[in-house]
Amino acid sequence: MAFKKNILCIGAGYVGGPTMAMIAYKCPQHKITVVDINPERIAQWNSDNLPIFEPGLDEIVRAVRGKNLFFSTEVEKSINAADIIFVSVNTPTKTFGVGAGMAADLQYWEKTARQIVKCSDSPKIIVEKSTLPVKTALAMERILISNKSDFHFDVLSNPEFLAEGTAINDLENPDRVLIGSRLTESGLKARNELVDIYANWVPEDQIITSDIWSSELSKLVANAFLAQRISSINAISALCEQTDADITNVARAVGVDSRIGNKFLNASVGFGGSCFKKDILNLVYICRHYGLNEVADYWESVIKINHYQKERFVTNMLGAMFNSLAGKKIALLGFAFKADTGDTRESPAIYIAERLVEERAELIISDPKAIDNAKTDLKHLNNKIKYIEDPYAATDECHAIAIMTEWDLYRTLDYQKIYNSMIKPCFIFDGRNVIEHKRLFEIGFNVYPIGKPAMTHFEHS
């Protein structure tokens, strides 16, 4: 069968891989090729052992791979055949030079733009899928246009809002698809082509179009608002712990107000993930660039509270366990930055683990999907940490447990059995409020939730 369009995606990561799998699944009339400079990643995408764990992803990839979805390392060869090129390479926080620790590092982006221009001999639509600072499309256009004047490239912004762990559902039933373009005749035509692709499964009133700068900025702002909600509830969790109020009750009472809404109000040990911190830093950097220091300070405080929440968790552990963790065995249950993913990027567990080792605790790390990533994240400490996937073996003869990730598994463990195998007095610090605190207290644990009074068997707590 001849395909209608050739769609290429450069960057086979958490965003590029699942997004293209969904487009292929919903658009059998188009051929989708996903390329990456990392041959191991591509080999994994072509195997039964995909490089990322995402519920439902295996089934979709299996249904379309080899039919209209192809994974390859041939970046340059694939470019010229494509009508539409999604760019989904990573845009990490810069680690050097001007803007180090704040601004986005756009070197992979720029390199990709130059590669596209070098390998193209026909007009193409270039789609920014990666999250980028506002006005990146302008730089992209300048690179493309100054190198090729005989035909035209249109640059669109189409940020991805999927969350890890729910990527397939988010892609299949998105709240919205956002497409930004230049408002020129050619820009609008390109935008319509992309609308037509999503319209294969997304209702048209959920496909929002806008100018390109608003689209780029909206992605940063959406992530900043989401992170801000978590920092807001986490800030209040600290106050709850001091005042015997219960954060779950507060969140419920506040969240039923339809103007506020009840989602994303779970107090936690802190937010992680590859996007929130990076995108807020990026927003803060842009604001400072334009001299908007008050605006920058406002958004920066979201990150400061997140750091405070992680540090507060460690200080609470230390205070509860008689101000000394040296030589004590502590099991971290969960290492992924959230449930249903093996991803550990910016996971709060990384910071907590480092701090606990600094206090000379003996750490055991357990997680159903993230042990390999944990080993890489903590390789500088690996001789001080044990990794045991089975939660019963991990907690055996421990002084304390700290829950880092809200895996369902941790709700239903046999905590009586765990209690029996631990050293007394037993402590459990629930960084995700996932266990039944009263029941565990009745078993004999001293229980320390987030944003709720601690339940201890000590006379003066």
The footprint of ligand UDX (CB under 6 A) covers: 10-16, 36-38, 41, 88-91, 108, 111-112, 129-131, 160-164, 223, 226, 230, 264-266, 268, 271-276, 337-338
Residue nearest to ligand UDX (CB): 13
Q: Name the catalytic one among 240, 275, 287, 426.
A: 275
Task: Return the DSSP state at 430.
Answer: E
- Least separation, in Å, of the C-beta of 327 and ligand UDX? 30
CB of 137 to ligand UDX, least distance (A): 14
Phi, psi of 58 (to 5 degrees): -55, -45
**Vertex 176, ends 171 and 179: CA angle to 5°?**
100
Let me know if 275 is a catalytic residue.
Answer: yes
Q: Which helix (H) or strand (E) holds 371?
A: helix 371-377
Minimum separation from the CB atom of position 49 to ligand UDX (A): 16
Q: How far is the CB of 199 from ligand UDX (least distance, A)?
A: 21
Of 416, 404, 322, the C-alpha closest to 363 is: 404
Count of other CB atoms within 10 angstroms of residue 277: 20
What residue type is 1 in one-letter code?
A: M
Residue nearer to ligand UDX on the CB measure, 91 or 218: 91
Q: Which of 215, 236, 234 is nearest to 226 (CA)?
A: 234
> Quick one: tokens of 154?
């249109």
Residue 361 corresponds to which tokens in the numbers above?
Answer: 């605790």
Joined together, the tokens standing for residue 87 give 């760019």
Residue given tokens 């082509």 in the structure block: 193
- Bridge partners (DSSP) of residue 209 are 179
Which two structure tokens, joined as six digits, stand for 316? 């609470």
Distance CA 370, CA 376 (A): 10
Nearest CB to ligand UDX, comparing residues 73 and 214: 73
Indicate the residue among 140 and 162 with the shorter CB distance to ligand UDX: 162
**If 0-12 CB within 10 Å is exposed, 13-18 middle and 19+ buried, where does residue 263 land?**
exposed
Is 203 buried (19+), middle (13-18) or exposed (0-12) by CB count in 10 A?
Answer: exposed
Contact 7, 160 (CB under 8 A): no
Cβ-proximal residues to 461 (8 Å cutoff; 6+ apart), any chain: 454
Q: Which of 346, 384, 341 is nearest to 365 (CA)?
A: 384
Shortest distance in whole angstroms from residue 265 CB to ligand UDX: 6
Q: Which is nearer to ligand UDX, 352 or 426 (CB)?
A: 352
Q: Roughly what angle, to the nearest 10 degrees, separates helices 107-119 and 136-147? A: 30
Minimum CB separation of residue 183 from ligand UDX in Å reads: 24
- Least distance from C-beta 107 to ligand UDX, angstroms? 8
* Closest CB to ligand UDX among residues 118, 417: 118
Judged by beta carbon, residue 344 or residue 446, the one nearer ligand UDX is 344
For ligand UDX, give the closer residue by CB, 87 or 426.
87
Which positions are annotated as active-site residues? 275
